[in-house]
Amino acid sequence: MVRYFLLLLALISILVVSIAGLRGCKTSRPPIEIFPDMVRQDKVKAQVPSNFFADGRGAREHVAGTVPLGYSQPECSGGCDAKMGSPYNAVYFSGKEDYANTGKNSGAGTNWGTGIPFTVAMSTLERGRERYQIQCAVCHGATGAGNGIATKYGLVGVANLQQQRLRDMSDGEIFNTISNGKNTMLGYGATIQVPDRWAIVAYIRALQRSQNATINDVPADQRAAFQGTNAASATTTPAKP
Ligand code: HEC
């Protein structure tokens, strides 16, 4: 009987010591993992060196000529060389202080310039519409009326791009607003390339015109279709917001 008792005591002692007695001990060995799954694996972590590559860097350089997926340069038909005096890319990715990169007339210093610094083709407007709908419409709305989806979720103070003040605003100043933001609007210079910003400016002009058209904007031979019942109202300029 005593024999069994001593055996049991010994077993219990071993159990207690093995569970409780080793608590607080330090070990440099990895813990036992029954199902390690993919908790630990060989991989390159961001900004961390790696012996795997000869140059010791974990981060790899882009393959020469890499462009973001789906990216295409807006078309530039003809006029850019003549107006800008150098090839399209060289001008717009130079970071120069000229009109095309700042919206300000160079030399004059702080004066906003006006005009799109390359010839606007239909493809420019299409590019502008695409970029506008991606980058601006969430706040400014599809027509620029300042009623984008974000305003329905409580964003206040979004500018109505159809207002007279912004219709009169020079292209250069709008370009600058896209690049650097204005008051509560953040700048988009880091995410929208220079030619695309100009394409957006051109598209905003098209939007502004689309909301303020008169019968005179319709080609003469097509006016008859619009001069039906509401000819009188069509010939007057709509009220400005
Ligand atoms: C996150 C919402 C948001 C987005 C996206 C946004 N804007 Fe704005 N924008 C604003 C707000 C808010 C204002 C009003 C700022 C103020 O004057 O207080 C504003 C003002 C403006 C103005 C008027 C500036 C002035 O001088 O009064 C222009 C022009 C403009 N935005 C153009 C754009 C264009 C072009 C884009 C797309 C590239 C864009 N915005 C994207 C929120 C936005």
Task: Quote the DSSP letter at residue 20.
Answer: I
Whole-number Å distance between alpha carbons of 171 and 103:
7
Mean pLDDT of 39-44: 79
Q: Which of 149, 182, 197 to mutate to test the pocket of ligand 1 (most atoms within 8 A of CB)?
A: 182
Mean pLDDT of 177-187: 94
Distances (CA, A) of 91 to 101, 182, 193: 8, 25, 12
Q: What is the pLDDT of residue 94?
A: 46
Q: What is the pLDDT of residue 32?
A: 80
> Residue 95 CB: number of other CB atoms within 10 A?
8
In this structure, is residue 154 part of a structural domain?
yes
Mean pLDDT of 23-32: 79
Q: What is the mean pLDDT of the chain?
A: 81
Domain that holds residue 205: 79-89+96-211
Whole-number Å distance between alpha carbons of 152 and 141:
11
> Residue 240 CB: number of other CB atoms within 10 A?
10
Mean pLDDT of 118-145: 93
Residue 130 C-alpha from the chain's centroid: 12
10-19, 72-81, 202-211: range with lowest mean pLDDT: 72-81
| Residue 229 DSSP SS3 | coil
The answer on pLDDT for 162 being more than 60 is yes
In this structure, is residue 11 part of a structural domain?
no
Q: Any idea which residue has 């069509």 for tokens?
A: 234
Q: Any idea which residue has 């027509």 for tokens?
A: 143
In this structure, is residue 13 part of a structural domain?
no
In this structure, is residue 191 part of a structural domain?
yes
What is the domain count for the chain?
1
Look at ligand 1, atom 13, and give the residue with the nearest C-alpha: 158
- Higher pLDDT among residues 31 and 106, named by residue: 31
In this structure, is residue 43 part of a structural domain?
no
| Percent with pLDDT over 90 in the chain | 40
Q: What is the pLDDT of residue 228?
A: 61
For the Cβ of 137 lying below 6 angstroms from any atom of ligand 1, the answer is: no
- Higher pLDDT among residues 123 and 38, named by residue: 123
For the Cβ of 158 lying below 6 angstroms from any atom of ligand 1, the answer is: yes
DSSP string, 95-117: --SSHHHHSB-TTT-SPBP-S-S
In this structure, is residue 171 part of a structural domain?
yes
The answer on pLDDT for 241 being more than 60 is no
- Higher pLDDT among residues 237 and 173, named by residue: 173
Return the ligand 1 atom nearest residue 204 CA: 35
CA nearest neighbour of 231 among 216, 210, 219: 216
Whole-number Å distance between alpha carbons of 82 and 238:
38
In this structure, is residue 84 part of a structural domain?
yes
Q: What is the pLDDT of residue 87?
A: 39
- Higher pLDDT among residues 232 and 61, named by residue: 61
Structure confidence at residue 101 as a pLDDT band (50, 70, 90): confident
What's the predicted TM-score (pTM) here?
0.65
For the Cβ of 174 lying below 6 angstroms from any atom of ligand 1, the answer is: yes
| Residue 222 DSSP SS3 | helix
In this structure, is residue 155 part of a structural domain?
yes
The answer on pLDDT for 53 being more than 80 is yes
Structure confidence at residue 96 as a pLDDT band (50, 70, 90): low
What CATH number is attached to the domain comprising 183?
A: 1.10.760.10
Mean pLDDT of 62-89: 54
